[in-house]
């Protein structure tokens, strides 16, 4: 790989100049341009097509997150490393969702920043240690919320469908279910089709297992389970 072509984006001129001086001490880095806000960042990225945009978040006219989203949509080959003072989790998550490959805080060690530039320029990912902990905690929370949703009973069944599930789990035939609920066998079959479709199941045995698992009925006896296995919908 040749030199890493970098575009610097920050609204503070003095900081930008200091950062440019730091990067140019590395023979494998080429500074192709600078921008002072998000709008200018998008325009210069279109013109210069750098390997990497080193982007601040808090800027006038257009934020770094907005600019990142536009650049990644239009020019997916351009990688973006966020360099900011913001340690807010919301900024980190929005930047990652927008397509940033890295998120570093401005108090980062200069050597670590240069290594991050090299890594992100070739498609790698890097996050400052304090922010990485926040991201991992959020992923853990997301996993727990997903597990809770998967454990929660489904609520899109009607009362009649729940009644039929309860009868079904006890091994009742369509005729017996119809007799118990005062409806025809055809109506029972129609309800069963709706239940299977709603629950994304394939047969009445799976439906009965669902009813037991979700606590809609007490566990069936061995006799009822045997009868159920021989019943066809």
Dump pLDDT digits (tens) for 42-68.
999 999 999 999 999 999 889 999 999
Answer yes or no: do 54 and 109 share one domain: yes
Tell me the CATH number at 80: 3.40.50.2300
Mean pLDDT, rounded, for 76-104: 90
Mean pLDDT, rounded, for 94-113: 91
Boundaries of domain holding 163: 159-230
Q: What percent of the chain has pLDDT over 70?
A: 80
3-class DSSP state for residue 127? strand
Give the C-alpha distances (Å, rounded to integers) separating 59 from 24, 65, 190: 24, 10, 60
Residue 123, both tokens: 């498609």
Answer yes or no: do 120 and 181 share one domain: no
Answer yes or no: do 101 and 207 share one domain: no
End-to-end CA separation in angstroms for the chain: 64
Distance separating alpha carbons of residues 197 and 191, to the nearest angstrom: 10
Hey, which residues does 30 pair with through a beta bridge?
A: 5
How does residue 228 score in pLDDT terms, banded at 50, 70 and 90?
very low
Residue 92, both tokens: 């980190």
Answer yes or no: do 114 and 170 share one domain: no
Domain contains 143: no
List pLDDT tens digits, range 173-186: 888 999 999 999 89
pLDDT at 231 over 50: no
Distance separating alpha carbons of residues 208 and 226, to the nearest angstrom: 12
Tell me the CATH number at 209: 1.10.10.10
Residue 57, both tokens: 């978040």
Distance separating alpha carbons of residues 214 and 151, to the nearest angstrom: 8
Answer yes or no: do 31 and 101 share one domain: yes
Question: How many Å is the Cα radius of gyration of the chain?
Answer: 30
Counted domains in the chain: 2
């Amino acid at each position: 790989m040749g030199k890493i072509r970098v575009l610097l984006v920050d609204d503070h001129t003095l900081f930008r100049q200091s950062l440019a001086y730091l990067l140019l001490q590395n023979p494998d880095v080429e500074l192709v341009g600078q921008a002072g806000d998000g709008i200018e960042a998008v325009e210069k990225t279109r013109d210069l097509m750098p390997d990497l945009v080193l982007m601040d978040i808090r800027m006038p006219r257009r934020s770094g997150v907005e600019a990142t989203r536009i650049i990644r949509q239009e020019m997916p080959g351009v990688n973006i490393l966020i360099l900011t003072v913001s340690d807010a989790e919301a900024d980190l998550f929005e930047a990652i969702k927008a397509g940033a490959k890295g998120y570093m805080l401005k108090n980062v060690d200069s050597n670590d920043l240069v290594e991050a530039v090299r890594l992100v320029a070739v498609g790698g990912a890097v996050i400052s240690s304090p922010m990485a902990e926040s991201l991992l905690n959020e992923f853990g929370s997301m996993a727990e919320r997903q597990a809770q949703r998967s454990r929660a009973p489904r609520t899109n069944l009607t009362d009649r469908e729940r009644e039929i599930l309860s009868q079904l789990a006890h091994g009742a035939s369509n005729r017996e279910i119809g007799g118990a609920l005062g409806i025809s066998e055809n109506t029972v079959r129609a309800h069963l089709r709706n239940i299977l479709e709603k629950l994304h199941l394939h047969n009445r045995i799976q439906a009965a297992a669902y009813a037991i698992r979700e606590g809609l009925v007490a566990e069936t006896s061995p006799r009822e389970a045997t009868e159920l296995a021989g019943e066809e919908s």
